[in-house]
Chains A and B, each alone.
Chain A
Amino acid sequence: AQSVTQLDSHVSVSEGTPVLLRCNYSSSYSPSLFWYVQHPNKGLQLLLKYTSAATLVKGINGFEAEFKKSETSFHLTKPSAHMSDAAEYFCVVRSGSARQLTFGSGTQLTVLP
């Protein structure tokens, strides 16, 4: 079984300040973990993925995430928010060889000028 909990449904930051989007996961097997971003009227875009290599994963647009097995967490961070980062973010898990991705309920990121 696999599941994802995104701890914040909405996060609001000022432009230029750090971003932290929190995610906890549950997985019966070694998980693959992903962060996707969804802009209005656009398809889901992969930001980064963890697949049992380095625990600190760097993605596109300055985002990174750290896999912490002891805490079953995979939080997404960015040092400095940009207006274009405003979007819905989804934490996603795939357990072992499962074919399906399980999405969290999403975090809406608002970036204030």
Chain B
Amino acid sequence: ETGVTQSPTHLIKTRGQQVTLRCSSQSGHNTVSWYQQALGQGPQFIFQYYREEENGRGNFPPRFSGLQFPNYSSELNVNALELDDSALYLCASSPSEYEKLFFGSGTQLSVL
């Protein structure tokens, strides 16, 4: 067990809707990253939060946004869902920016 939990495990939405995915990190982990894993591909970096501030972003549009809270929980929000947003979304936390990442099991999002 990695100590990182994600909810929900599965989610079905329709195109144009908004979705919020949640992640609970280990106590003391002040860095959280989110990754998108499309079917048959490796995870792609969405963004990273360090002490509640976004400090790194991959090649994803602004409709992907996040929040990190002082209680080691975080959210990934996606607005105006598109069919291509269907993927496994992974949360990963670490004690600091460049230390080992601990991954959750992911949220499987299906956009119809």
A21 to chain B, nearest CB (A): 13
Report B58-101 residues with CB < 8 Å from chain A CB.
58, 90, 92, 97-98, 100-101
Main secondary structure of the interface of B (DSSP, over half): loop
Checking B40, B44, B56, B102 against A103 with a beta-carbon cut-off of 8 angstroms, the contacting residue is B44
Q: What's the A-B contact tally at a CB cutoff of 8 Å?
A: 53
A93 CA to B105 CA in the complex, in Å?
21
Q: How large is the interface on A (under 10, 10 to 19, 20 to 34, 35 or more residues)?
A: 20 to 34
Known pairs A43-B90, A100-B33, A103-B42 / 8 extra A-B pairs, C-beta < 8 Å: A36-B103, A42-B105, A43-B102, A43-B103, A100-B48, A100-B58, A105-B41, A106-B41
Q: How large is the interface on B (under 10, 10 to 19, 20 to 34, 35 or more residues)?
A: 20 to 34
Which residues on B sit within 8 Å (CB–CB) of A102? 45
* Smallest CB-CB A-B distances: 10 pairs: A103-B42, A99-B56, A100-B45, A43-B103, A44-B103, A43-B105, A103-B43, A99-B48, A105-B42, A43-B2
Asked whether A106 lies within 8 Å of B42 as measured between CB atoms, the reply is yes
Asked whether B55 lies within 8 Å of A99 as measured between CB atoms, the reply is yes
Closest B residue to A92 by beta carbon equals B42
Report A47-82 residues with CB < 8 Å from chain B CB.
49
Closest A residue to B58 by beta carbon equals A100
Asked whether B101 lies within 8 Å of A99 as measured between CB atoms, the reply is no
Instruction: Using A100-B45, A101-B45, A106-B42 as known contacts, say yes or no to A43 and B56 having CB atoms under 8 A apart.
Output: no
Which residues on B sit within 8 Å (CB–CB) of A97? 98
Which residues on B sit within 8 Å (CB–CB) of A106? 40-42
A50 CA to B44 CA in the complex, in Å?
20
A111 to chain B, nearest CB (A): 20
Which residues on B sit within 8 Å (CB–CB) of A41? 105
Binary contact readout A84-95 vs B (1 if CB under 8 angstroms, 0 otherwise) = 000000100010
